[in-house]
Chain A
Amino acid sequence: MLEVKNLSFSIQESRSNLEIINDISFTLPEGELLVITGPNGGGKSTLARLIMGIAQPTGGRILFDGTDLTDLSVTERARLGIGYAFQQPPRFKGLTVRKLLSLAHGATLPEDECCQYLTNVGLCSKDYLNREVDNSLSGGEVKRIEIASILARSPKLAIFDEPEAGIDLWSFSMLVDTFRRMHAAGERSLIIISHQERLISLADKIMVVDHGIVRAYGSRDEIYPSLMGQFSCGYNTKGEAI
Chain B
Amino acid sequence: MIDRLDAELLEQIAGFHDIPTGAYNIRKNSVAAGRNSTEHIEILSKEDKPGIDIRIASGTKNESVHIPVIITEAGIEETVYNDFFVGDDCDVLIIAGCGIHNSGDQKSEHDGVHRFFIGKNSHVKYVERHYGSGEGTGERVMNPHTQVEIGENSVCEMEMVQIKGVDSTVRGMDAVLSANAKIVVTERLMTHGNQKARSDMRIELNGAGSSAQVVSRSVARDASEQVFNPCAVGNNACAAHIQCDSIIMDTAKIRSIPEIAANHPDAQVIHEAAIGRINNDQLLKLESFGMTETEAEEIIIQGFLR
Contact = CB atoms under 8 A, between A and B. Distances in A.
Given A73-B287, A89-B285, A94 B305 contact: yes
B302 A75 contact: no
Interface stretch (B6-14, B225-233, B288-296): B288-296
Contacts of B286: 103
A153 interface: yes
Given A90-B279, A92-B282, A95-B299, A74 B304 contact: no
Contacts of A84: 288
Interface string A118-157: 0000000000000010000000000000000100010000
Given A95-B303, A103-B299, A75 B281 contact: no
A223 interface: no
B292 A94 contact: no
Contact of B291 (A92, A103, A149): A103
A78 B287 contact: yes
Contacts of A88: 281
Main secondary structure of the interface of A (DSSP, over half): mixed
Interface in B86-135: none
A95 B282 CA distance: 11
Nearest to B293: A75
Residues of B in contact with A, size category = 20 to 34
B273 to A, nearest CB: 15
Nearest to B281: A90
B277 interface: no
B40 to A, nearest CB: 34
A68 to B, nearest CB: 19
A238 interface: no
A43 interface: no
A95 B281 CA distance: 15
A54 interface: yes
A94 B303 contact: yes
A83 interface: yes
A179 to B, nearest CB: 19
B49 interface: no
Interface in A49-67: 52, 54
A86 interface: yes
A182 to B, nearest CB: 18
Interface string A66-104: 000000011101110011101011101111000100011
Interface in B50-85: none
Given A90-B281, A92-B282, A103-B299, A52 B288 contact: yes
Contacts of B279: 90
B4 interface: no
Nearest to B290: A78
Given A90-B281, A90-B282, A95-B299, A78 B288 contact: yes
B290 A75 contact: yes
B275 interface: no
Contacts of B217: 93
A54 B217 CA distance: 29
B262 interface: no
B302 A83 contact: no
B84 to A, nearest CB: 30
A110 interface: no
Contacts of A78: 287-291
B290 A106 contact: yes
Contacts of B306: 94
B300 interface: yes
Contacts of A83: 288
B291 A75 contact: yes
A21 to B, nearest CB: 19
Contacts of B293: 75
5 contacts: A74-B288, A78-B289, A78-B290, A103-B291, A153-B289
Q: Sorted from nearest, which 6 A-B pairs have the closest CB atoms?
A: A94-B303, A94-B306, A90-B281, A95-B303, A78-B290, A74-B287
Interface of A: 52, 54, 73-75, 77-79, 82-84, 86, 88-90, 92-95, 99, 103-104, 106, 132, 149, 153
Given A75-B292, A95-B303, 8 more contacts: A74-B287, A75-B290, A78-B288, A83-B288, A86-B285, A90-B285, A93-B245, A132-B303
